Structure 1
Amino acid sequence: MTVSVALIGFGAIAQDLLIKVQSDPHLRVKQILVRATACDSTQAKIDLQTEVITSVDALDDDIDFVLECAGHGALKDYGAAVLARGFDLGILSAGALSDDALVAELNSATAQSKAKVIVVPGAIGGIDALSAVESGGLTSVCYTGRKAPISWKGTPADVVCDLDTLTEPCEIFSGTAREAAQAFPKNANVVATVALAGLGFDDTTVRLFADPAVTRNTHRVQAVGDNVSFDFETSSGTLPHNPRTSALTSQSAYRALKLRAYPFST
């Protein structure tokens, strides 16, 4: 059995994911949904067996799963429409779910179509343990993220410190997961994943650091509950063409697809 997949977006994650899928006999990227302005450039990068489309209406009825790889704006523009058509939707841009209006829109679409939303863990491990406890068994959750200064370029970190001359770690943010997800939409999707698995956006504490000593993106989650405590750290290199994105994000996305295609997966 081959599972047909549609990707939303064709940036660094989707391009890396497509390479992985092309050598997998159980998976096929049948369509890629992009904005009209990116249609020609996307088609030039892929083979003719994968169709580039520019609207949700153009998704083939036999698509088994749609995976969003394109950022917060794409999820807001296409997510509800994909679900309304009955396609299960995997989400990498979990930070967009800090927007209550978007969550309500997605919930309304799933209620009508019975399609499901799957939040892909992305660049962090341990989410299964955190979500197993859920908010009722937790008293505190703190996420700490460290990335090289270049990874924070073009974000609010630019006004906190001089990223080009940094010689020691600089805390560029401290606050709630909701504030972090909205302030750092291209960097902090993992923050939202932690929040959704645990105490929620407003009760999850976040600290973000620009650290010239790190060579890999590092994510640490410390959680305490009545009968449990977690302290786990995930470290991963970045994708070659995008220093903001962990290579583990693409690997996690590939695992999400394999879970749909393989009869026995872990």
Structure 2
Amino acid sequence: MRRLGVIGAGGMAETVFSALAEALPAPLEAVSVLVPPGSADKGEALLARFGAALAASRSVRTDRATFLADAPEAVAECAGHGAVREHGDAVLAAGIDLIVISVGALADDATLARLEAAAAAGGVRLVLPAGAVGGLDALGAAKLSGLEEVTYTGRKPPLAWRGTAAERLLDLAALTEATIFFEGTAREAATQFPQNANVAAAVALAGAGLDSTRVRLVADPGAQRNLHEVSVRSAAANFTIQLEGRPSPSNPKTSLTAGYSVAREVLNRVRKVAI
């Protein structure tokens, strides 16, 4: 792969470009960034920061037609659920692989079905990186043996849940011990707590599905950072994987791991050995 498209120019895209500029075996031929008209200067500044170490040709586009005319061989979405819904099917239908990090958008059956149909029409793939969580390769393998139970637990410091439905259920500032405030399916979690939708949906789509994957959300005053835990019981193996996520310096609501996960997918398309 020599030509890459990226949707978005925020903290996620910055992490992706930083990783690529350092780890690419050679600069790409071209990188195009798609942003809303009001964000063109932001996109230009981001590309200028990484310069020729990233790609020989670097362009910012504010309309999708021009972006697709740049002929990227893959497009990485780094702009949120709205961008998936707005641009996803057009990218796929144009015959371009789409790497979606905002996996929570696919908790909506209609969106997932539309993107699958567009991928089939374009003869390409919709690719879902693991993002902020780990163990999805082991989960996908265990799925082939038969899954018995999959549970995702999201644990954050109480004040990290501000601005979510948790505020209506708990006095977050007064908590003195870990408290589970949600237990349900991945689909319910993605709907009620969209801030955790991407992780819950990624675990569900890799494993038991949106309606059979259990989710627990916890406010824990003893937690220093966001903790993601995936527990699996299957015919092949039982395992639990826990990650303590660090936030992006430029956008604390974005996990650093998620951006590096996108970069890893791109690098696997460039390197001679993919792992």
Fold-level match, TM-score > 0.5? yes
Match status 1:251 vs 2:252 = no
Write the deviation string for residues 173-226 of structure 1: whole angstroms up to 9, x where unpaired. 211100111222233311111100111000100001122222222111111123
Aligned 1:55-74 pairs, distance under 5 A: 55-59=63-67, 60-74=69-83
Partner residue, 2:146: 137
Tell me which protein shows more helix as a share of its residues: 2
CA distance in 2 between counterparts of 1:27 and 1:157 reads 45
Q: CA contact under 8 A between 1:5 and 1:27: conserved in structure 2? A: no
> Structure 2 residue aligned with 1:148, among 157, 160, 167?
157
Per the TM alignment, residue 136 of structure 1 is displaced from its structure 2 partner at its CA by 6.2
CA distance in 2 between counterparts of 1:165 and 1:252 reads 35
CA distance in 2 between counterparts of 1:117 and 1:217 reads 28
- The farther-off stretch of 26-35 and 143-152 is 26-35
Aligned 1:206-221 pairs, distance under 5 A: 206-221=215-230
- The farther-off stretch of 61-70 and 255-264 is 61-70
SS at match of 1:77: helix
Write the deviation string for residues 147-185 of structure 1: whole angstroms up to 9, x where unpaired. 223432222122122334433223232111001112222
- The farther-off stretch of 165-174 and 79-88 is 165-174
- The farther-off stretch of 226-235 and 61-70 is 226-235
Per the TM alignment, residue 61 of structure 1 is displaced from its structure 2 partner at its CA by 4.3
CA distance in 2 between counterparts of 1:64 and 1:153 reads 39
Percentage of pairs with the same residue: 40
Q: Which runs of 5+ in 1 are unaligned?
A: none
Partner residue, 1:75: 84
Per the TM alignment, residue 241 of structure 1 is displaced from its structure 2 partner at its CA by 2.8
SS at match of 1:63: coil
Q: Which runs of 5+ in 2 are unaligned?
A: 52-56
Q: CA contact under 8 A between 1:135 and 1:199: conserved in structure 2? A: no
> Structure 1 residue aligned with 2:108, among 66, 89, 99?
99
Write the deviation string for residues 60-80 of structure 1: whole angstroms up to 9, x where unpaired. 443121001111111000000
Partner residue, 2:54: none
Per the TM alignment, residue 25 of structure 1 is displaced from its structure 2 partner at its CA by 4.2
Cα distance change, pair 240–168 in 1 and its aligned pair in 2 (3 A)? farther
CA distance in 2 between counterparts of 1:79 and 1:105 reads 9
One-letter amino acid of the structure 1 residue matched with residue 231 of structure 2: Q
Q: CA contact under 8 A between 1:217 and 1:246: conserved in structure 2? A: no
Match status 1:41 vs 2:53 = no
Q: CA contact under 8 A between 1:152 and 1:244: conserved in structure 2? A: no
| RMSD value, Cα | 2.0
Q: CA contact under 8 A between 2:9 and 2:46: conserved in structure 1? A: no
Partner residue, 1:21: 20
One-letter amino acid of the structure 1 residue matched with residue 19 of structure 2: K
Cα distance change, pair 242–166 in 1 and its aligned pair in 2 (3 A)? farther
Partner residue, 1:225: 234
Partner residue, 1:157: 166
One-letter amino acid of the structure 2 residue matched with residue 77 of structure 1: E
SS at match of 1:82: helix
CA distance in 2 between counterparts of 1:170 and 1:250 reads 29
One-letter amino acid of the structure 1 residue matched with residue 63 of structure 2: S
Aligned length: 265
Cα distance change, pair 165–6 in 1 and its aligned pair in 2 (3 A)? farther
CA distance in 2 between counterparts of 1:192 and 1:91 reads 12
One-letter amino acid of the structure 1 residue matched with residue 64 of structure 2: V
Partner residue, 1:88: 97
Q: CA contact under 8 A between 1:69 and 1:93: conserved in structure 2? A: yes
CA distance in 2 between counterparts of 1:113 and 1:30 reads 21
Write the deviation string for residues 66-111 of structure 1: whole angstroms up to 9, x where unpaired. 0011111110000000001111000101111111111111111111
CA distance in 2 between counterparts of 1:99 and 1:27 reads 37
TM-score by length of 2: 0.89
CA distance in 2 between counterparts of 1:107 and 1:123 reads 23
CA distance in 1 between counterparts of 2:177 and 2:250 reads 25
Partner residue, 1:53: 61
